[in-house]
Amino acid sequence: MKKDNVPQDDSLLLEGNTREICYAVDENGKYVKVLSTGWEPKDIALRQALDFIEERANKSKEKIANNQLSPIAYYLEKRVMDIKLLSQYTHILRWRVKRHLKPRVFKKLSREILKKYADAFEITVDELLNF
């Protein structure tokens, strides 16, 4: 892509405050960094991905309301994490994280373990408990 053809569509996701770096070819045929305010196709794809994440989080909410899952499941979806990644962040074994997704097990967790989860999700323990 030539330097003059770098997309400058105002991105809804970047909200006009941020620009991203793209690489383009200048008039001498060399690659240079060019700032872009966004690109509509990329904006659409990101919006679809965010909608998908929100849909999965809402499904988790329903399962939590039906006492099928613990609140950990919602924050896993919301933070786009999986059990392995959460295990690495919290230093809790994967099988234990999976077990903590069960509401009856979650209710018995110590404040210390809840704090590990809350820190990984960047929320407070109260937010986790009072989902």
* CA count, 13 A, side-chain hemisphere, 80: 6
Residue at 32 is within a domain: yes
Average pLDDT for 1-22? 70
Sign of CA dihedral 72, 73, 77, 78: negative
Each residue's pLDDT tens digit, 111-120: 999 999 999 9
Report if residue 110 sits inside a domain.
Answer: yes
54 falls within a domain: no
- For the chain, give the mean pLDDT: 89
Determine the Cα angle at 123 with ends 45 and 89, to 5°.
75
Could you tell me if 71 and 124 lie in one domain? yes
What does the block give as tokens for 38? 């966004």
Percent above pLDDT 90 for the chain:
64
Model confidence at 15: pLDDT above 70? no
Residue 59 domain-assigned (yes or no): no
- What was the pLDDT predicted at 88? 97
| pLDDT at res. 8 | 73
Could you tell me if residue 95 is inside a domain? yes
Average pLDDT rounded to a whole number, residues 101-123: 97
Q: Give the mean model confidence (pLDDT) for residues 48-72.
A: 95
- Given a cut of 80, is residue 13 above it in pLDDT? no
46-77: b (≥16 Cβ within 10 Å) or e: eeeeeeeeeebbeebbeebeeeebbbbbbbbb
pLDDT in tens, 35-58: 887 777 878 888 899 999 999 999
Burial 90-101 (b: 16+ CB within 10 A, else e): bebeeeebeebb
Domain holding 28, by residue range, is: 3-38
Do the domain assignments include residue 27? yes
Predicted structure pTM score? 0.74
Tell me: do 75 and 123 sit in the same domain: yes
Given a cut of 60, whether residue 14 has pLDDT beyond it is no
Domain of 106, CATH number, reads 1.10.260.40
Task: Identify whether 85 is part of a domain.
Answer: yes
- Is 56 within a domain? no
